[in-house]
């Protein structure tokens, strides 16, 4: 019923709507309407009440509910069906379950808060309520499974472009798919695939973006290495507006990938990562390797030249940058 009341209050005129009118339209008592109005207030909706004129919506909170997002969405199909939750273990886990049960391409899972937000390499993704963005998009690309890493590169490009368009700041993609501002991590991607030998059933694109965190909200361990858009822009940002923009960029880049293929995505990724020629320290499966990055290949693997001139492909791990030696 909350949604229906809001739909009425958000109607074409921003004038008052009487309690009687609402109760008549929704076929509930005026007391029931009054209770729901109070509930909406607890969610952050500012609703003016007047004994003579009824109720009027003054301001909506920055919630990521379909009711708030749908009217501003500019996509054709990404996010047209949205599953919104106050709290989830992980949006990726929920999206995976939904996809197993037949959810369609473009369906999106969003949570205001995650209790077991998952990061790469089994790490935890800090996901406090109402501050950031935690979402998972279900895709069903008709490509062979070995091309799936391109989807991850595509999503990193889309996220980086969203940050740039939204803030005017220039983000850097750090292999494999961290989005950095001022060398600090702003966003991370965790993509999961369900496939058989020659066919992908679905891919879950899991994206976490730090939007309105203050520095002191990050744990001591990650404080120096993490940032948020609020910190970088010096002002709070609208989560709704960022989400709207991110879904548009994902739809745009995914259609570029499907139409124009791998090389366009690889080039876009390389242009935003500036990794070629950088001295890196790689930690991969407990091993530490130093070398110069020569490329990222179409499997998403990092290609390194080690000090003894050998070529090494790294498929998973973390990197730290050293001094730039070549460009
Ligand atoms: C990383 O380690 O950099 C990846 C972080 C990915 C976090 C996002 S938040 C939404 C989605 N759900 C999850 O549990 N993880 C991803």
Which is the closest atom of ligand 1 to the Cα of 119? 2
Residues with CB under 6 A from ligand 1: 90-92, 114, 117-120, 123, 125, 134-136, 178, 188-190, 206-208
pLDDT at 323: 57
| Residue 156 DSSP code | H
State the distance from the centre of ligand 1 to the C-alpha of 161, rounded, in angstroms: 18
DSSP classification of residue 11: S
Mean pLDDT by 10 residues, the chain (327 residues): 86 82 92 93 91 91 90 95 97 98 98 97 94 98 92 97 98 95 96 94 98 96 95 97 98 97 94 92 91 90 92 90 58
Which tokens in the block code for residue 151? 């989807």
Residue closest via CA to ligand 1's atom 3 equals 188
Strands 318-324 and 278-284: antiparallel
Q: What are 110's two structure tokens? A: 């969003």
| CA 135 / ligand 1 centre spacing (Å) | 8
Please give the distance, rounded to the nearest whole angstrom, from the Cα atom of residue 22 to the centre of ligand 1.
Answer: 41
> Distance from the CA of 228 to the center of ligand 1, in angstroms?
15
Check residue 326 and give its pLDDT: 46
Please list, in sequence order, all residues whose beta carbon lies within 8 angstroms of the beta carbon of residue 136, skipping any fewer than 6 positions away.
Answer: 91, 92, 94, 95, 108, 109, 204, 205, 206, 207
Name the percent of the chain in helix, strand, coil, to the closest 5.
35, 30, 35
Ligand 1 centroid – CA 311 distance (Å): 31
CA of 86 to the centre of ligand 1 (A): 17
* Distance from C-alpha of 167 to C-alpha of 161, rounded to nearest angstrom: 10
3-class DSSP state of 182: coil
pLDDT of residue 7: 86
CA distance to 39, 275, 300, 321, per residue, from 176 (Å): 43, 11, 7, 13
Q: How far is the CA of 208 from the centre of ligand 1 (A)?
A: 5
- The residue whose CA is least distant from atom 7 of ligand 1 is 208
Angle, CA 89 vertex, CA 249 and CA 229 arms, to 5°: 40
Atom of ligand 1 nearest to the CA of 114: 14
Q: Which of 93, 122, 134 is the pocket-test mutation for ligand 1 (most atoms within 8 Å of CB)?
A: 134
Contact of 30 with 23, CB cutoff 8 Å = yes
Q: How many CA atoms lie within 13 A of 6 on its CB side?
A: 19
């Amino acid at each position: 019923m909350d949604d229906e009341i809001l739909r009425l209050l958000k109607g074409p005129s921003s004038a008052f709507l009487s309690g009687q009118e609402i109760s008549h339209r929704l076929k509930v008592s005026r007391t029931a309407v009054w209770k729901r109005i109070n509930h909406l207030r607890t969610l952050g909706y500012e609703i003016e009440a007047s004994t003579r004129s009824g109720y009027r919506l003054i301001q909506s909170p920055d919630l990521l509910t379909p009711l708030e997002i749908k009217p501003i969405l500019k996509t054709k199909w990404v996010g047209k069906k949205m599953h919104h939750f106050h709290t989830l273990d992980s949006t990726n886990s929920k999206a995976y379950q939904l996809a197993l049960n037949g959810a369609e391409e473009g369906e999106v899972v969003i949570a205001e808060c995650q209790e077991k937000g998952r990061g790469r390499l089994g790490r935890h993704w800090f996901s406090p309520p109402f501050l950031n963005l935690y979402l998972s998009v279900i895709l069903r690309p008709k490509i062979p499974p070995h091309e799936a890493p391109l989807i991850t590169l595509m999503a990193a490009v889309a996220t980086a472009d969203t940050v740039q368009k939204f803030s005017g700041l220039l983000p850097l993609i750090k292999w494999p798919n961290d989005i950095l501002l001022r060398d600090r991590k702003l966003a991370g991607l965790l993509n999961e695939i369900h496939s058989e030998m020659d066919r992908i059933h679905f891919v879950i694109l899991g994206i976490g973006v730090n939007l309105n965190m203050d520095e002191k909200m990050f744990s001591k361990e990650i404080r120096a290495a993490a940032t948020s858009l609020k910190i970088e822009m010096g002002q709070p940002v609208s989560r709704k507006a960022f989400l709207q923009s991110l879904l548009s960029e994902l739809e745009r880049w995914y259609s570029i990938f499907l139409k124009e293929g791998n090389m366009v995505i690889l080039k876009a990724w390389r242009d935003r990562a500036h990794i070629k020629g950088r001295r890196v320290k790689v930690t991969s499966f407990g091993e530490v390797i130093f070398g110069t990055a020569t490329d990222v290949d179409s499997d998403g693997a990092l290609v390194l030249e080690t000090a003894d001139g050998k070529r090494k492909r790294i498929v998973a791990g973390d990197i730290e940058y050293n001094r730039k030696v070549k460009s």
